[in-house]
């Protein structure tokens, strides 16, 4: 994803500034709002990312939409506008929330299954992931019938794929490799 490293650097800088100023909770709240508003509004996202629209116009619109944000968050937007990186605003806000959660000892995990998890199974998965990571975990269940069965668990940048679709693909690859070797 283009700009991901830059977004991470901005997010780390904002996190450090918010920590120094004792504003972590309010900036976290601001970043969650920014993520939500941008995700829910495709027109705003296109507006922010448009290279044709002048920075002054973007600045005015963002100040109006996000008028109730903290001074630290407004400084972030001003910095992004000044550096011609305002298209990273949503990504910076997402990265900030991830870094904030890490700082607070929290982490998100995503388990993809072909059918919804039962409450009992969800509790077992949550307990196991918490045991393995030692962190407070928020578990999200994503339904994807394409995996056929089993599950795919993603925690941070780690992924464990125990899906039937993955096992079938591995089996197919093994058959193809053996057919090529024996030919």
Q: What domains can be seen in the chain, in order of their start residue?
A: 4-102 (1.10.520.20), 106-182 (no CATH)
**Average pLDDT for residues 160-183, to the nearest whole number?**
89
pLDDT in tens, 67-104: 999 999 999 999 999 999 999 999 999 999 999 998 99
Q: HSE on the CB side for 18, CA within 13 Å? A: 27
**What is d(CA 164, CA 83) in angstroms, rounded to the nearest whole number?**
47
Q: Which pLDDT band holds residue 179 (cuts at 50, 70, 90)?
A: confident
**What is d(CA 43, CA 22) in angstroms, rounded to the nearest whole number?**
34
pLDDT in tens, 105-131: 888 899 999 999 999 999 999 999 999
pLDDT score of 2: 58
* Cβ atoms within 10 Å, residue 173: 10
User: What rounded mean pLDDT belongs to the chain?
Assistant: 92
Nearest to 84 by CA among 62, 54, 39: 54
Residues in Cβ contact with 142 at an 8 Å cutoff, skipping those fewer than 6 apart = 110, 111, 112, 113
Question: Is the pLDDT confidence value at 1 over 80?
Answer: no
**What is d(CA 93, CA 88) in angstroms, rounded to the nearest whole number?**
8
pLDDT score of 183: 65
Note whether 6 and 61 are within 8 A (CB): no
Structure tokens at 67: 């008028």
pLDDT score of 14: 96
pLDDT score of 3: 72
pLDDT score of 43: 95
pLDDT in tens, 3-44: 789 999 999 999 999 999 999 999 999 999 999 999 999 999
Structure tokens at 128: 């196991």
């Amino acid at each position: 994803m283009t700009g991901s490293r830059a977004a991470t650097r901005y997010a780390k800088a904002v996190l450090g500034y918010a920590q120094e100023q004792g504003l972590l909770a309010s900036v976290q709240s601001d970043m969650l709002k920014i993520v939500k508003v941008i995700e829910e509004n495709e027109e705003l996202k296109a507006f922010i990312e448009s290279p044709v629209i002048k920075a002054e116009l973007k600045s005015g619109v963002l100040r109006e939409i996000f008028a109730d944000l903290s001074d630290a968050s407004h400084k972030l937007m001003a910095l992004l506008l000044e550096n011609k990186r305002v298209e990273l605003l949503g990504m910076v806000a997402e990265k900030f929330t991830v870094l904030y959660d890490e700082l607070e000892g929290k982490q998100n995990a995503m388990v993809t299954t072909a059918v919804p998890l039962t409450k009992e199974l969800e509790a077992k998965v949550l307990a196991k992931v918490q045991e393995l990571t030692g962190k407070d975990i928020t578990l999200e269940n994503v339904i994807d019938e394409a995996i056929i069965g089993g599950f795919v668990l993603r925690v941070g940048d780690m992924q464990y794929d125990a899906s039937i679709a993955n096992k079938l693909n591995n089996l197919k690859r093994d058959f193809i490799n053996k057919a090529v070797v024996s030919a």
